[in-house]
Chains A and B, each alone.
Chain A
Amino acid sequence: MMELNGAMQMAIDEAILTARARHKVPNTIRFYTWKPSCVTIGYFQSAQQEVDLEKAKQAGVDVVRRYTGGGAVLHDNEVTYSIVLTESDVPSNIIDSYKKLCLPIVYALRLLGLKAEFAPINDILVSGRKISGNAQTRKQGVVLQHGTLLLKVDIAKMFSLLKVPNEKLRDKVIERASARVTSLEQELGRSVAVDEVIAALEKGFTAVLGISLERGKLTRFESELAKRLAREKYATKEWSFMR
């Protein structure tokens, strides 16, 4: 489990994708957390439209654009996974492939004692409330999907950093979000350790995808490429403010 900043986490995911595309590494699953906390925005989003950049700066929260589409996410108390595999391992239809790669998480949640369901396009719900968001890109014959599993949710903090499309409706949006988002702690009524979640996720991926996992480290290629991508892409203003 790696705890790193947002630029580095996003750079590592892309580096693994590139290494997989060049046949340097096998299909790979990675689990990680974020330090400091980070807001990631989807590939097509505008940082200025989605994030209160001044407040994020004051709070010491990074803002990083993802390689994947989807919405803005505050990565705070959560476990994040990424899975990199060849396109031939998943259905060509995007939503079908989300389903295939989200079912291991649904199973992991079941192992943790929760009844979860995949909710198209890219969410996982417990008791009808979102506990996990997922996003995917496909490049050079390889699929990268990463996603979150919320340990704890702090709606007030989330919306102090995220803008809402219509500021006049802010209170309503927050009220609605509180009713629509949940976390492991909220559902289980106890705090849940990162390691416990990762163990469940590992079991979920192996059982549902019918694979075996071999523990490993980033290769030198991945690690050097990731450092370069973090420095030259994910941490740059050009990338963050591309749209």
Chain B
Amino acid sequence: MKLINYKVEHGKLLRISVEFQGDRITQIRITGDFFVHPEESLFEIERLLIGKRVNEIKPVLRYFVRTKGVQLVGFSVEDLVEALNLAMVDKETQA
């Protein structure tokens, strides 16, 4: 798995271990010093991302966060998408 460290400006550090097949996420684990309320939502977010293309996850995550009343503290949906885009670019550079 690839590990990406993404420091959110005025926020926390997202450390994302991710594996892609083509442009789809096949495995992902998000760790770091951020907060998510309720905490279990982060595991649901990880499950939601499996099988998705990076360019289609923003609306999915936004909808999830809004409808479930999830509070992300120290990062946003946009930060997470940005970090995954960087992981994708990094993958392409290495390929």
Query: Do B37 and A138 have beta carbons less than 8 Å apart?
Result: yes
| B interface, over-half SS | strand
Tell me if B51 is interfacial: C-beta within 8 Å of chain A: no
Determine the residue in chain B with the shortest Cβ distance to A70.
B33
Whether A95 and B31, one on each chain, are in contact in the complex, defined by CB atoms closer than 8 angstroms, is no
Mask: chain A, 99-126; 1 = CB below 8 Å from B; 0 = not = 0000000000000000000000110000
Contacts A49-B15, A94-B73 given; does A135 touch B35 at CB 8 Å = yes
- Give a binary string over B1-23; 1 marks a CB under 8 Å from any A CB, 0 the rest: 00001000001110100000000
Is A71 on the interface with B (CB-CB < 8 A)?
yes
Q: Is the CB of B33 within 8 A of A42?
A: yes
- Which residues from chain A contact B37 at a C-beta distance below 8 Å? 94, 137-138
Main secondary structure of the interface of A (DSSP, over half): loop
B13 x A69 contact (CB < 8 A): no
A199 to B39, CA, bound (A): 33
Among B31, B42, B74, the residue within 8 A (CB) of A49 is B31
Interface 0/1 of B24-50, CB less than 8 Å to A: 000001111111111100100000000
Please give, as numbers and ranges, the residues of chain B lying within 8 Å of A70 by CB-CB distance.
33-35
- Using CB atoms, name the residue of chain B closest to A42: B33
A94 and B35 contacting across the interface, CB-CB below 8 Å: yes
Q: Could you say which residues of chain A place their CB within 8 Å of the CB of B74?
A: 121
User: Cβ of B15: which chain A residues have Cβ within 8 Å of it?
Assistant: 46, 49, 165
CB of B71 within 8 A of chain A?
Answer: yes
Instruction: Tell me the smallest distance from the CB of B30 to a CB of chain A, in Å.
Output: 7
User: Quick one: given A44-B42, A138-B38, are A69 and B5 in contact (CB under 8 Å)?
Assistant: no
B73–A95 CB distance below 8 A: yes
